[in-house]
Amino acid sequence: MLKEVLMKVYIGIDWSTQKHDIVYLNEEGGIILYQTIPHSPAGFEAFDEQRMELGVSVEDCLVGIETEHNLLIDFLTSHQYQQIYVIPPSMIRDSRGRFGASKAKTDRSDAHLIADMLRTDRARLHAWHSDSLLTQQIASLVSLERFLTRTIIQTTNRLRNVLWRYYPNAAGVFSSLDQQIALEFICAYPTPEAATGLTIEQFKSFAKLHHYPRPSKLSACYARLQKPQPDAKQQTVLAYQSEAVRLAHLALQVVQDKAATLKETQELFVDHPDYPIFSSLPGAGRILAPALLAKFGDDRQRYPTPQVLQCVAGTCPVTKASGKHKYVSFRYACDHEFRLIVQQWAKSSIDYSVWANTYFQTIRPHCDSLSHAYRRLAHRWLEIAWRLWQDRVPYDEGRHLRQHALRVKPK
C-alpha cells in the first residue's frame, strides 16, 4: 500500500444497511483508492485502519455521507472525525451529470460523486455537528408522537367504518373516536344489544368511572346513543364486533402511549436551555414548541441566515427567471415534516398574536388557498424565530409590534 502524507483527503461514503462503498480523493480530485466495508464493527475498524495506512490524520479527513441516521456516524464522531458533511440525497441526485450525461448510477460512482462534491462545493456545505443528548431525546419523542398520531387516525378511521357497518350510534356517542372514553365505551358495549338496556344513570356512572371531564354533556351523549338506528342482522354483528373491539383496544393503547409521550416530551422540554425561546412563540403550545426546537437544533451555524431556514422548511417559493420570463413555483425540495409543523404553528398563532392575525387577514385575499396564506405567515414567523434563536431571547409581542410600527412608512 502506498504510504504518503497528504494534506487533505476527501472521503465519500455511499451507505446502505449491509455495506458501505467508500472513495478517497486527493486535493486534485484524483482517486487514491476505493474500499467496500461491511456494516459491522470489523468493517468500521477496517475503514479507520485504511486511513492510518494512508498516513492521514483524522484532522485532515473530510467525510461526506448522505445521512446522519447511521451507526457509522457514531463511529466517526467517537473516533474524533470532526469534518463530517451530511449531503442531502437530492443534491447528490441532481449532481450526477457532472461525470457523464447519462447520469448512470452505481454505489461506487455515488461515493466518488460525494467525495468530489466535498472537494469542489465545500464552501456551500455546512459541517455536521451532533445535537445535545437532550435535543436528540426531544426530537425522538416528537417524531414518535407524530407517528402515534398518524396511527391513531388510521386506526380510528377503520374503526369508524366498521361501526358504521353494524353499530353506527357508537361512532358518534362522544365528540371523537380518538377520545379514551369513546374507545373504552366500545370495549365495554361492543354491540347494539349490549347498550340497549343502558340507563342514563348507568351511562353517567360509566363516564365518571373513566373520568369524563364534561359531565354537562352526558345527556346529549346518551341521546345520541339512544337515537333510532337501522338494525343490523345478527350475523353482521357477529362478523364485525370482534374487529371493532380489537381496533378499539389497539387505538386505546396508542392513545395512552401518545399521552405518555407528550408528558415525557414536556418534562424534557422545560429542562432545555432554549425552552424560554420556543415556549414563548404564540400558538406553539405543548406540542408544536418542542417540535420546532427539535427542527432548529442546537447548532446556530446550521442555519446561518433566515433564508436558509425558510428554504429547508419549504415556506419560500422557487423562482425561475430567464430573460423576459419569470416563474414562481411551490417548493418541493424541503423538509416536508418541518413545513407541516410551521404551517400548523402559523394557523394556531392567529388566535394568540395580534400581529399574526392582522398579517393573515391582510394577505388572505391575495393567496390562492388557505394553505398558501398559512405558508406565507409561517415564512414571516420563521424569520422572527430565527432572530430569537440566534439572540437567545424569548418572543415579546409588545416589542415586536413597536418594532413593526417603526418600520412601517406613513402614507
| Interval 71-96: pLDDT, tens | 999 999 999 998 999 998 888 888 88
Q: 110, 102 in Cβ contact below 8 A?
A: no
- Looking at residue 3, its pLDDT comes to 44
140 and 254 both lie in a single domain: yes
In this structure, what CATH number is given to the domain that contains residue 24? Answer: 3.30.420.40
- Residue where a domain stops, chosen among 225, 245, 269: 269
Selection from 176, 170, 173, 184 nearest residue 153 by Cα: 176
Rounded CA-CA distance 164/12 in Å is 55
With cell 486511513, the residue in question is 51
The reply to whether 287 and 163 lie within a common domain is no
Q: How confident is the model at residue 165 (pLDDT cuts 50, 70, 90)?
A: very high
Find the mean pLDDT for residues 394-408: 85
Q: What is the structure's pLDDT at 318? A: 86
**Shared domain check, 201 and 97:** no
117 and 145 share one domain:
no
Q: Please give the order of strands across the beta sheet that includes 84-86.
A: 31-38, 19-25, 9-15, 61-65, 84-86
Closest CA to 97 of 119, 86, 113: 113
- Tens digit of pLDDT for each residue in 4-53? 444 799 999 999 989 999 999 999 999 999 999 999 999 999 999 999 99
Q: Do the domain assignments include residue 129?
A: no
Total of domains in the chain: 3
pTM, two decimal places: 0.86
In this structure, of 249-258, 328-337, 368-377, the range with the lowest mean pLDDT score is 328-337
Same domain? For 265 and 289 the reply is no
Report pLDDT digits (tens) over 133-157. Answer: 999 999 999 999 999 999 999 999 9
Do 279 and 250 lie in one domain? The reply is no
Domain check: are 91 and 23 in the same one? yes
Q: What is the pLDDT of residue 408?
A: 66
Which residues span the domain enclosing 77? 9-124
State which of 124, 146, 176 marks the end of a domain: 124
Q: Say if residue 351 is in the same domain as residue 316.
A: yes
Instruction: Provide the pLDDT for residue 269.
Output: 98
Residue 68: pLDDT band (50, 70, 90) is confident
Residue 403 has a pLDDT of 82
pLDDT at 409 over 90: no
Rounded-to-integer distance, Cα 168 and Cα 244, Å: 12
* CA 262, 264, 270, 276 torsion-angle sign: negative
Of the candidates 269, 294, 321, which is a domain's last residue?
269
Q: Could you tell me if residue 286 is inside a domain?
A: yes
What CA–CA distance (Å, rounded) separates 195 from 203?
9
d(CA 314, CA 126) in angstroms, rounded, equals 19
Both 109 and 185 in one domain: the answer is no
> 197-217 pLDDT, tens per residue?
899 999 999 999 999 988 899
According to the model, what pLDDT value does residue 46 have?
A: 95
CB distance 37 to 20 below 8 Å: yes
